[in-house]
Structure 1
């Protein structure tokens, strides 16, 4: 037992001399304290010693023994508790029932060594079992997270549509095993329109991932089951931009705006009615694209403004919010926004994990740096995402990723495919 350490507690600070002699003979390093001193209640500024064994008299109340043991575990391993007595053997009973080991006279060195060795080995085995159980629990947790990520990946599109004259690409990088970001691409109105969604559920981790699955399912189900809508009411008409200019002299009906509006309003209503107590919400950009004309109708619910990059380069055009984040305000109004993706233009949609990416010094990537990257013309959506992704990697280096990162690029070819 030459490698063992012990804390001896005694009301008067004078444990049995023969016990002290036996510990010294067996080269057990020990410290003697009164209960108040061990608990720091006697004005003793000395820290409680780190020890493997707590030796306490059987007359000490079990709650006091537990309190000393807890204080020792604050700075070291949880100690083995061994109570000792010289004559009050009846007091041992309450401690034995609690699983404490014991020492009784005569305190001969061989007997003390054998008892402490037995206690030490049992405690070591117990700690090993606890470590095994903790490791098994960790492996089970990691397995559950893997399953969760696999399920979450099932909510993301398996692939992106291949449209003549269009190049779509996406980057999705969760900060943890599961993410609060999500994106979706699916067809509407008898395959005549393409829905494009990028959203960011507040917070990260499992809770955000659960709400991500709920919100994504509500949006897609409602949009796909809103029925075919060929004409909209007068307040849902948009300028005719077929000539490529900023506006036209007459209005044209917007096909696909009703599924868009129903999906966002319905999802917002469901979340605020049923889940306001959880405090989760999502910023999102949900748009419906006409691949033939390039016309785009959208709702930006408190999301980072997507950027429409002109084919000739220069400052991108932001698609500003048309309503609040989804799941915050009951019965709120969402407006429709309109844009046109001309031949050669690229729509860039992203979550706040892009400008908020940090390097090892904690510096953000920033909006200005992102805008500078987007000023130059790009040949395709894939090339644009590769450019931004490379700049993010260069900025972040080996720094930990703090937030989910999602980027979508929708490029319309200069010439029809």
Structure 2
């Protein structure tokens, strides 16, 4: 057993000579120390002892033996515990009940070797079983994550609607197997309007993914149900200096179909989350808009989300669609306002989550809002082209660095009719 190391604990540093002789003959490397030294309480800062076998006197209380074993485990491996005694045989009983092995006189080399070999093989088998169980648990966990990913993918649209005069494209890249980001695009109000949703649930992983599924279901069900139940037209002031300009300016009254289901969906979801799930601490920033494909008019609620950017067809400075209320699921009975914009022929609406500006390179440098704006100032031919440009820039910036956050990008481009 020349490959075995042992820590032998004795109060006076004078363990049974016969035991030391037997261990030496078997080639066991032995370090002798006091209980205080083994526990690191001898008055000096001492590293945890490292050995495969812990030999402790039977008179040492089991609690102290466990403490020494735990400290030795800090080096990476839990030791085999064997207690020894020359005369106090009754003290062995309490250790046997805890699964510890024991050595008693005569400390003959052959007997010591047989006992230690038996302990070593049992411990090796136990570790093998623990490794098998850990591997099985890991495989089960990975299987559950895979199932969770498949279920989550079922909550995302299988494809984007094909609308005459519009080019829609999306990029969705989870940082882990499951994501807290989500997007949704669906028709509502008897297919007269198009709902566009991009949201980011706080945190990442399985918990955020569960809330993503809950929030997405609440939003879509309420919006679709409200749209079917009430096709009433609501009149709201639409900020616009010119009917063909989506920039803020003067106000005039225009009909806004879809504002009611939009408001119902966001307010209803916020109320449900704050009433039933405030204890979990999850919330979501979101941009939920309703588009009239015929006119390009857009009514939206921005609940604490990164302002989507309306990119002019001719290039230049994008126009942000600022928040109109807080994140959803934070404040009970809070007020959300409606925002308005217009997507002109050639314009592109770019909606994204904070994983875009917060993408990091190997040095920890963020991609940043300035890079996002710089990429959007250049004219683009389509939503697909815009996302390809953004995706390539993110890939070049991040390189081989690990992705820290989910990334979602949605581009809605109103195409220019050929002359």
* TM > 0.5: yes
Aligned twin of 1:352: 354
1:164-243 matched pairs, under 5 angstroms: 164-228=164-228, 229-235=230-236, 242-243=243-244
**Aligned 8 A contact 1:211 1:280 in 2:** yes
**Aligned 8 A contact 1:230 1:254 in 2:** no
Q: Tell me if 1:383 matches 2:385.
A: yes
**In 2, Cα distance between the equivalents of 1:338 and 1:144?**
42
Q: 1:180 Cα deviation (Å)?
A: 0.6
Q: How many residues align?
A: 417
SS at match of 2:107: coil
**In 1, Cα distance between the equivalents of 2:244 and 2:370?**
32
Q: Tell me if 1:53 matches 2:85.
A: no
**In 1, Cα distance between the equivalents of 2:389 and 2:284?**
27
SS at match of 2:417: coil
Aligned twin of 1:41: 41
**In 2, Cα distance between the equivalents of 1:390 and 1:252?**
40
Q: What's the TM-score, normalizing by structure 1?
A: 0.96
The verdict on how the C-alpha distance between 1:313 and 1:238 changes in structure 2, with shifts beyond 3 A counting, is closer
The verdict on how the C-alpha distance between 1:209 and 1:183 changes in structure 2, with shifts beyond 3 A counting, is same
Q: Pick one of 285, 288, 307 that aligns with 1:286.
A: 288
**In 2, Cα distance between the equivalents of 1:306 and 1:12?**
74
SS at match of 1:6: strand
SS at match of 1:221: helix
SS at match of 1:226: helix
Aligned twin of 1:11: 11
Aligned twin of 2:276: 274
Q: 1:110 Cα deviation (Å)?
A: 1.2
**In 2, Cα distance between the equivalents of 1:150 and 1:164?**
31
Q: Tell me if 1:70 matches 2:70.
A: yes
The answer to which of 259-268 and 92-101 deviates more is 92-101
Q: 1:62 Cα deviation (Å)?
A: 1.1
Q: 1:236 Cα deviation (Å)?
A: 5.9
Where in structure 2 are there 5+ consecutive unaligned residues?
none
Residues 335-381 of structure 1 show CA distances to partners (whole Å, capped at 9, x for unaligned) of 11111111111000000000000000000000001100001111111
Q: 1:71 Cα deviation (Å)?
A: 1.1
The answer to which of 247-256 and 324-333 deviates more is 247-256
Q: 1:248 Cα deviation (Å)?
A: 7.5
Q: 1:242 Cα deviation (Å)?
A: 4.3
**In 2, Cα distance between the equivalents of 1:314 and 1:212?**
35
Q: Pick one of 283, 296, 299 that aligns with 1:297.
A: 299
**Aligned 8 A contact 1:175 1:404 in 2:** yes
SS at match of 1:339: strand
Where in structure 1 are there 5+ consecutive unaligned residues?
none
**In 1, Cα distance between the equivalents of 2:179 and 2:394?**
19
**In 1, Cα distance between the equivalents of 2:286 and 2:337?**
13
Q: 1:39 Cα deviation (Å)?
A: 1.1
Q: 1:233 Cα deviation (Å)?
A: 4.1
**Aligned 8 A contact 2:236 2:253 in 1:** no
SS at match of 1:47: coil
**In 2, Cα distance between the equivalents of 1:249 and 1:365?**
37
Q: 1:46 Cα deviation (Å)?
A: 3.7
Q: 1:238 Cα deviation (Å)?
A: 6.3
Runs of 4+ more than 6 Å apart: none
Residues 152-177 of structure 1 show CA distances to partners (whole Å, capped at 9, x for unaligned) of 11110011000111110000001111
**In 2, Cα distance between the equivalents of 1:158 and 1:25?**
72
The answer to which of 43-52 and 218-227 deviates more is 43-52
**Aligned 8 A contact 1:238 1:254 in 2:** no
**In 2, Cα distance between the equivalents of 1:249 and 1:333?**
21
**In 1, Cα distance between the equivalents of 2:369 and 2:246?**
28
Q: What's the TM-score, normalizing by structure 2?
A: 0.96
**Aligned 8 A contact 1:360 1:396 in 2:** yes
Q: Pick one of 307, 310, 323 that aligns with 1:308.
A: 310
